[in-house]
Amino acid sequence: MKNTLMTATAALALMAGAAHAEKVTVFGPWLGPDQENVEAVLAGFAKASGHEVSYVGSDSFEQQIRIDAEAGSAPNIAIFPQPGLAKDMARDGFLTPLPDGTADWVKENYAAGQSWVDLGTYPGPDGADSLYGFFYKVDVKSLVWYVPENFEDAGYEVPKTMEELKALTEKMVADGETPWCIGLGSGGATGWPATDWVEDIMLRNNPPEVYDGWVSNEIPFNDPRVVQAIEDFGWFARDDAKVSGGAGTVASTDFRDSPKGLFAAPPQCYMHHQASFIPSFFPEGTLVGEDADFFYFPAYADKDLGQPVLGAGTLWAITDDSQGARDLIAYLETPEAHEIWMALDGFLTPLKTVDTSVFSDPTLKKMNDILLEATTFRFDASDLMPGAVGAGSFWTGMIDYTGGKPAQQVADEIQSSWDAIKQ
């Protein structure tokens, strides 16, 4: 009943807006197919509300939205690819808090709802916290890819817990097989795939507030819990028997090439930890769901930390307040706003009231099920840390670690880089 009431409230807001139709401007990072998809959603909003809506996309969104806000020419709604910039703009007075009741709606209607409220809540110019960001369109990173035929031929079963995943890894080694393909190479960004491993492990070893403290550096990078997460990554990545090509190849193997071992004959590896985009680098013609599949990077059964999911997502914020802008946020509370994009491509949502049969792609539906089963959702930590750390010393530190440097020394050096920023 409560979900019905919430949807009715959104509908009433839209009807009120239709009586005073406005032009609503939206600015975001999407171009190409994603622009076409979001425009389909905005067309649905225009039809429901009577407002005229225009969307502009830019690959320089992060720079341009700041320029426009400072010049007093911000759009009504801005779509931020990650929370960091939105948090800065809220502090500087360039965002308007979302309408009253939005936080309660998110907590009630989104899986892991409190996580989404926390990720969109920031201090304003007066230092008081408000909900500024509404998350819409998210991505999942906590995935392990495999070839079902290889598992079937070898008699392996998909693990449901971290204990089972580690036991499977050891069984594969005992069988004379190589469990993992891991590659950290990415040109100037070499090292970033290892940060995803460490982030996923942090969420499985610790309560979410520890992860949050690590992201903000309230818990230092060289805290024993962080060092342990790095060493747990090493359990997979620094053992020659567990990694295709041996541990010495991990840092030099390009992440785009690393999953190819799944498809070799005989298999060079059986599992690959990577986000939802990695099928783009599978051999041409690979059918996800048949030739390749994925499972949730599992949590420990004995730690009672629920089902944490690591990922990313876009948040919508009001940058020039108007009734039309508020009506658009209300529209995003309706299943229709999510189902329009679900029926197209490249969309995941934590909204529990959607009809998941609408998904055009069964692979996306399966990923979305993982999202809907999440008890905690957290953003990629390296994306939220200062650039010199998250896209600097954290990356290089992971390369040093896979090359043999002790985890404690690596963590100390990353913390030193963070301390240098604070000075």
Kindly report, residue by residue over 207-238, the tens digit of the pLDDT. 999 999 999 999 999 999 999 999 999 999 99
Average pLDDT over residues 17-44: 91
Q: What is the pLDDT of residues 118-132, one digit of tens each?
A: 999 999 999 999 999
**pLDDT at res. 10:** 57
**pLDDT at res. 422:** 82
Percentage of the chain lying above the pLDDT 90 cut:
93
Residue 363 near residue 288 (C-beta atoms within 8 A): yes
Shortest CA distance to 354 belongs to which of 79, 364, 325?
364
- Taking 80 as the threshold, does the pLDDT of residue 141 lie above it? yes
**pLDDT at res. 6:** 45
**pLDDT at res. 15:** 54
- Could you tell me where in the chain the CATH 3.40.190.10 domains are found? 2-139+309-378, 143-307+381-422
**pLDDT at res. 54:** 98
- Hey, what are 155's tokens? 């008699």
Work out whether strand 52-57 and strand 23-28 pair parallel, antiparallel, or are unpaired.
parallel
- Taking 90 as the threshold, does the pLDDT of residue 46 lie above it? yes
Partnered with residue 351 across adjacent β-strands are 110
Q: What average pLDDT is seen over the chain?
A: 94
User: Across the beta sheet with 143-146, what order do the strands follow?
Assistant: 272-273, 143-146, 293-296
DSSP letters spanning 359-408: -S-HHHHHHHHHHHT-SEEEE-HHHHS-HHIIIIIHHHHHHHHHTT--HH
**pLDDT at res. 5:** 43
Task: Name the architecture of domain 143-307+381-422.
Answer: 3-Layer(aba) Sandwich (3.40)
- Taking 50 as the threshold, does the pLDDT of residue 8 lie above it? no
* pTM for the structure as a whole: 0.91
- Taking 70 as the threshold, does the pLDDT of residue 4 lie above it? no
Average pLDDT over residues 311-337: 97
**pLDDT at res. 3:** 46
Work out whether strand 308-318 and strand 77-80 pair parallel, antiparallel, or are unpaired.
antiparallel
Average pLDDT over residues 148-169: 98
- C-alpha to C-alpha distance for 418 and 423, rounded to whole angstroms: 9
Residue 20 confidence class, pLDDT cut points 50, 70, 90:
confident
**Fold category of 2-139+309-378 in CATH:** D-Maltodextrin-Binding Protein; domain 2 (3.40.190)
